[in-house]
């Protein structure tokens, strides 16, 4: 059973998640409040000041505007119909931007009336998604060249963006793999440094506040669900046993998928309980989870993990395919948040909304880098799980 220190009591619940889950029994979900009425978790603004270079008033304003954009995004997509070209959050303007292939329609006027900024884009999201799907299909069938690090739809450029190792942009293998998107006139290639190789963030056993798989691999808990928690798929396989930070038995991997996906579900018992909390590691107060509304590209986002603890950044991409050495993983979200080995599986959260679990990336928290996460809603849907919320 987990011990409690004063730091772990900050949210009026006896918590202590982190990468172990123990405290009170699951808290029943409360009726949703308007974003403006929800108090910010103490310390969240401080973390955003540190990692995003914002003043405290700027951070509070940004969180409020991002919450409004998050609520608007699915409504705007529905209104736009076939003309929808994607949406993203514009931090400078503080608004949701909606790309449309035709900006002179009644649908465009409806989006504007809701508060969205409408801009013209060359291609619909449907067209771009179809082009990316062709690349995904090729990767699943034959694998992708190692020099192609990732690919995703970028609504801001209305193109399919491929991240390619610098110097390999015109190699035969890369050219052949990317040919479908290039032929369709939808391809943008971005060069990345040779040491920016995406990798997963599992690690060998070290001290800290982790969970351990089969006694020798450390990962981080993502989010509490009824009956257990979700994490990264590369951390373990079905049947793998899990112990907590103190060495006591927690439970077992029930479901796991990697590569292709990077998610897992661990069922717990042995006295471990679930609470709707993401650990702040003393950098910020522990953060309550109230839902899983998807934050648009451009939104701020923070991550909690057992190695580098709490760091923030912004959402860079959605539905990105990342080509790890073990194989491609699809439908990831890219961020500017750093991470290191042992952070795998940890929580990504925007405000009080769960976003996903850490998959992998490149770089570190000293020199910076990029990290991808597997969206939590896909995990919940796959395994029929219910997020534990406050």
**Taking phi first (over 0 means left), then psi (-120 to 50 degrees means alpha), and beta for anything else, what does residue 239 get?**
left
Q: What span, in angstroms and rounded, lies between the C-alpha atoms of 378 and 20?
A: 23
Which pLDDT band, with edges at 50, 70 and 90, does 3 fall under?
very low
Give the residue with greater pLDDT, 368 vs 87. Answer: 87
pTM assigned to the model: 0.81
Calculate the average pLDDT of the chain: 86
> Do the beta carbons of residue 100 and residue 108 sit within 8 Å?
yes
Which pLDDT band, with edges at 50, 70 and 90, does 282 fall under?
confident
Give the residue with greater pLDDT, 359 vs 202. Answer: 359
Q: What span, in angstroms and rounded, lies between the C-alpha atoms of 152 and 162?
A: 7
Give the residue with greater pLDDT, 44 vs 203. Answer: 44
State how beta strands 228-231 and 223-225 pair: antiparallel
β partners of residue 267: 228, 252
Percent of the chain with pLDDT over 90: 74
User: Domains in the chain, ordered, with CATH?
Assistant: 44-120 (3.30.300.50), 125-192 (3.30.300.50), 198-390 (2.40.10.10)
Burial 106-134 (b: 16+ CB within 10 A, else e): ebbebbeeeebebbebebbbebbebbbbe
Per mean pLDDT, which range of 131-140, 204-213, 232-241, 279-288 is the poorest? 204-213
Q: How far apart are the first and last CA of the chain?
A: 22
The pLDDT of 270-299, averaged and rounded, is: 90
Q: What span, in angstroms and rounded, lies between the C-alpha atoms of 318 and 331?
A: 7
pLDDT digits (tens, 9 = 90+) for 101-126: 999 999 999 999 999 999 999 999 99
Task: Return the pLDDT at 16.
Answer: 25
Catalytic residue set: 234, 262, 344
């Amino acid at each position: 059973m987990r011990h409690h220190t004063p730091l772990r009591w900050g949210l009026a619940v006896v918590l202590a998640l982190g990468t172990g889950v123990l405290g009170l029994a699951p808290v029943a979900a409360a009726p949703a409040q308007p974003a403006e009425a929800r108090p910010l978790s103490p310390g969240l603004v401080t973390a955003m000041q540190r990692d995003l270079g914002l003043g405290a008033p700027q951070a509070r304003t940004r969180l409020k505007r991002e919450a409004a954009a998050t609520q608007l995004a699915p409504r705007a997509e529905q209104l736009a119909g076939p003309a929808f070209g994607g949406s993203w959050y514009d931090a400078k303007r503080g608004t949701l931007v909606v790309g449309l292939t035709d900006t002179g329609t009644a649908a465009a006027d409806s989006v504007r009336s809701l508060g969205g900024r409408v801009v013209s884009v060359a291609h619909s999201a449907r067209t771009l998604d179809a082009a990316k799907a062709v690349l995904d299909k090729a990767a699943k069938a034959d694998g992708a060249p190692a020099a192609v690090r990732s690919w995703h739809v970028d609504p801001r450029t209305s193109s399919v963006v491929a991240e390619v190792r610098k110097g390999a942009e015109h190699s035969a293998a890369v050219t052949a793999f990317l040919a479908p998107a290039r032929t369709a006139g939808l391809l943008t290639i971005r060069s990345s440094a040779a040491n920016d190789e995406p990798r997963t963030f599992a690690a060998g056993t070290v001290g800290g506040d982790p969970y351990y798989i089969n006694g020798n691999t450390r990962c981080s808990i993502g989010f509490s669900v009824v009956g257990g928690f979700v994490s990264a798929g590369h951390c373990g396989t079905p049947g793998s046993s899990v112990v907590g930070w103190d060495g006591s038995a927690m439970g077992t991997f029930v479901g796991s998928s990697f590569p292709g996906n990077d998610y897992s579900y661990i069922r717990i018992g042995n006295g471990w309980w679930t609470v709707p909390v993401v650990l702040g590691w003393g950098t910020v107060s522990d953060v309550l989870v109230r839902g899983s509304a998807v934050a648009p590209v451009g939104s701020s986002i923070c991550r909690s993990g057992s190695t580098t603890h709490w760091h923030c950044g912004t959402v860079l991409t959605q539905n990105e395919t990342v080509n790890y050495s073990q194989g491609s993983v699809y439908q990831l979200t890219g961020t500017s948040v750093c991470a290191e080995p042992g952070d795998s599986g940890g929580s990504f959260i925007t405000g009080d909304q769960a976003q996903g679990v850490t998959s992998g990336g490149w770089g570190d928290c000293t020199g910076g880098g990029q990290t991808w996460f597997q969206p939590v809603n896909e995990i919940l849907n796959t395994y029929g799980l219910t997020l534990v919320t406050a």
